Structure 1
Amino acid sequence: MSPLEWTLLVVAGGLGAGGRYLLDGFVMKGRRGAFPLGILVVNATGSFLLGLLTGFGTTVAPEWLAILGVGMLGGFTTFSTVSAETVLLAQRGRREWAWLNLLGTLVVCVVAAALGILLGGLFPR
């Protein structure tokens, strides 16, 4: 990876993290203490987009797959926030929400990634 590509990857990661912050804030506005739907939406969206990018296969140059997939979508999605929010939900006595967050995120994100790969594979190569 060239210095320019590495720089683009780092910048894309920052843009992805900023996008996560904005989308989570938009979804969670006025929902303080509620189920962490914002991060679920972020992770499902990111999983779908990474699936789509992956589904495009060789039509996407490896450098751009790294910049967009690892950088931007890696910065956008977050497993650590899901983990921390799941523990916090359990600590607050919301064990059913904790399990829903943990298992719901897994199922929704895997399905979203699969749909993205499926749709990405429909594009001509």
Structure 2
Amino acid sequence: MQNYIIVFVGAGLGGVLRYWLSGFVYKFLSPIFPYGTLTVNVLGSFIIGIVMYYLDANELISQQLRLFLTIGLCGGLTTFSTFSYETINFLKEREYLYAGLNIFFNLFLTLFVLFITYKLSKIISGD
């Protein structure tokens, strides 16, 4: 039961962070493109990369903290369903360039950031 509470609290905080960060991003960038979704997806990939490839791999965090950060916080923070919805809306509006860019950047940047955190964790760990 304790693990469910840990995930619940993390997901709640992740959702609040997603809402705040998405709004913050649009204070600086045009809402014509879903930069807020892109930002939280890249940030979530970065956090998961650090947690799993460095902290967990080097046994620097507990199982409960890993659950809180990955399934909870990152699960609430990242927005694959929102990404999918925004992409379909671009396609419905025949905004094919934006749909393609949204797919490319969300997939490429999140995978790239995760790969970079993997490599950096290996360097820092001396592996």
Decide: shared fold, TM above 0.5. yes
Would you say the 8 A contact 1:52–1:118 is kept in 2?
A: no
* Superposition CA RMSD, Å: 1.8
Aligned residue in 2 for 1:91: 92
Identity %: 31
CA distance in 2, matches of 1:73, 1:117: 17
* Residue 17 (1) aligns with residue 18 (2): no
Describe the SS at the equivalent of 2:30: coil
Partners of 2:21 and 2:119 lie apart in 1 by: 25
Q: Is the 8 A contact 1:48 1:114 kept in 2?
A: no
**How far 1:61 moved relative to its partner?**
2.1
CA contact (8 A) 2:11 2:74 kept: yes
Asked if 1:74 corresponds to 2:75, the answer is: yes
2:39 matched to 1:31? no
Taking structure 1 as the reference length, the TM-score comes to: 0.88
Q: Which moved more, 1:53-62 or 1:115-124?
A: 115-124
Which amino acid counterpart does residue 48 of structure 1 have in structure 2?
F
1:5 deviates by: 3.2
Structure 2 partner of 1:115 = 116
- Structure 1 runs of 4+ with >4 Å offset: none
Task: Return the letter of the residue paired with 1:31.
Answer: S
Q: Following the alignment from structure 1 to structure 2, what is the Cα–Cα distance between the partners of residues 112 and 90?
A: 27
**CA shift at 1:123, angstroms?**
4.2
Instruction: Indicate the residue corresponding to 1:43 in structure 2.
Output: 41
**Structure 2 unmatched runs, 5+:** none
Q: CA deviation at 1:52?
A: 0.7
For 1:5 and 1:83, locate their aligned partners in 2 and report how far apart those are by CA, in whole Å: 29
* Bigger mean CA deviation after superposition, 81-90 or 110-119: 110-119
